């Protein structure tokens, strides 16, 4: 469990995706009890929390202006930016202050959260930019068997702009992964074992990188974010867990 949680934390760390809710509602027979989403108890609790939150926000905004993207926090599932398709970056704009600020913030947030990957949409910027980094230090706490099974390897900081992914090996492997944008949860997700990414780096230079094992998983996860896809769209739903579920029983 610890091993699993650690990896969640890393990929999550995002290291790290549904059609309209109306479609979900359609699965409830018309004759069944009301949809849980409309349960009065749930609505009341939500309303109370919302009022408290709104008041605190009101007090806070009296003093501090609301943040603007790129955020120094990670957007959470429900935010439309996570479901939008990210736009390509004009190569001539990569050296500019705005794009460089996005990259700088992406790396800063990724490192602060100790994640191994992050995409620009997650900090509120719908542009095709992703960052990956798997520090050697993160491997120290991993068991040799886990390192081997997951294909964990250190990866120096890499930035990809307008990345294109190519599958090098059609074999898929399934491991538990998480996402900073779905904080506190994880699930088993199948991913291709080996992929190649091509794109531009932070200096607008063309780059190609082949990744196998965990780095390949990180890449696929981050690429998904650029298409508005989250891991929950690909997961085995029966493996979806709250990573702290055990604490609720203590
Ligand atoms: Zn993610």
Any idea what the CATH number is for the domain that residue 147 is in?
Answer: 3.90.45.10
pLDDT tens sequence across 200-226: 999 999 999 999 999 999 999 999 999
How would residue 48 be classed by pLDDT, with cut points 50, 70 and 90? low
Write out the residue range of the structural domain in which residue 10 sits. 2-18+69-245
pTM: 0.80
User: In which region does residue 184 sit, left (phi positive, over 0), alpha (psi from -120 to 50) or beta (all else)?
Assistant: left
Please state the domain count of the chain: 1
pLDDT tens sequence across 3-22: 334 444 444 333 333 233 33
In a domain, 108, yes or no: yes
Buried b (16+ CB within 10 A) or exposed e, 126-137: bbbbbbbbbeee
Please state, in angstroms and rounded to a whole number, the distance separating the CA atoms of residues 10 and 218. Answer: 9
In a domain, 24, yes or no: no
In a domain, 54, yes or no: no
In a domain, 26, yes or no: no
Å from CA of 115 to ligand 1 middle? 10
State yes or no: pLDDT of 25 exceeds 70. Answer: no
Inter-residue contact 176 to 187 (CB < 8 Å):
yes
Give the catalytic positions in this structure. Answer: 222
How would residue 36 be classed by pLDDT, with cut points 50, 70 and 90? very low
Å from CA of 122 to ligand 1 middle? 8
Å from CA of 14 to ligand 1 middle? 4
In a domain, 164, yes or no: yes
How would residue 60 be classed by pLDDT, with cut points 50, 70 and 90? confident
Nearest residue to 15 (alpha-carbon basis) of 218, 195, 193: 218
Alpha-carbon torsion (218, 234, 226, 15), positive or negative: negative
Taking CA atoms, 238 is separated from 12, 52, 241, 242, in Å, by: 19, 34, 8, 12
Q: In this structure, which residues have their CB less than 5 angstroms from ion ligand 1?
A: 14, 16, 179
pLDDT tens sequence across 179-192: 999 999 999 999 99
In a domain, 165, yes or no: yes
pLDDT tens sequence across 233-246: 999 999 999 999 99
Å from CA of 62 to ligand 1 middle? 32
Taking CA atoms, 157 is separated from 88, 99, 192, in Å, by: 21, 17, 22
224 CA to centre of own chain = 9
In a domain, 240, yes or no: yes
Q: What is the dihedral of CA 106, 108, 113, 116, to 10 degrees?
A: 60
Å from CA of 48 to ligand 1 middle? 30
């Amino acid at each position: 469990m610890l091993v699993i949680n650690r990896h969640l934390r890393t990929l999550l760390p995002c290291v790290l995706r549904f059609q309209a809710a109306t479609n979900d509602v359609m699965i409830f027979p018309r004759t069944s009890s009301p949809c849980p989403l409309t349960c009065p108890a749930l609505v009341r609790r939500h309303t109370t929390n919302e009022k408290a939150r709104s008041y605190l926000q009101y007090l806070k905004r009296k003093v501090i202006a609301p943040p603007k993207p790129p955020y120094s926090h990670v957007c959470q599932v429900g935010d439309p930016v996570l479901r939008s398709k990210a736009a390509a970056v004009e190569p001539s704009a990569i050296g500019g202050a705005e794009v460089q600020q996005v990259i700088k913030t992406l790396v800063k947030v990724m490192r602060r959260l100790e994640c191994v990957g992050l995409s620009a949409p997650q900090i509120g910027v719908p542009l095709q930019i992703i960052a990956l980094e798997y520090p050697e230090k993160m491997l120290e706490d991993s068991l040799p068997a886990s390192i081997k099974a997951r294909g964990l390897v250190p990866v120096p900081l890499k930035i990809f702009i307008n990345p294109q992914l190519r599958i090098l090996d059609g074999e898929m492997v399934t491991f538990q992964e998480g996402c900073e944008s779905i904080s506190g949860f994880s699930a088993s997700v199948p991913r291709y074992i080996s992929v190649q990414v091509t794109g531009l780096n932070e200096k607008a230079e063309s780059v190609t990188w082949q990744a196998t094992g965990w780095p390949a998983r990180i890449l696929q996860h981050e690429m998904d974010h650029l298409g508005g896809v989250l891991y929950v769209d690909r997961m085995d739903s029966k493996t979806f867990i709250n990573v702290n579920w055990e604490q609720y029983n203590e």
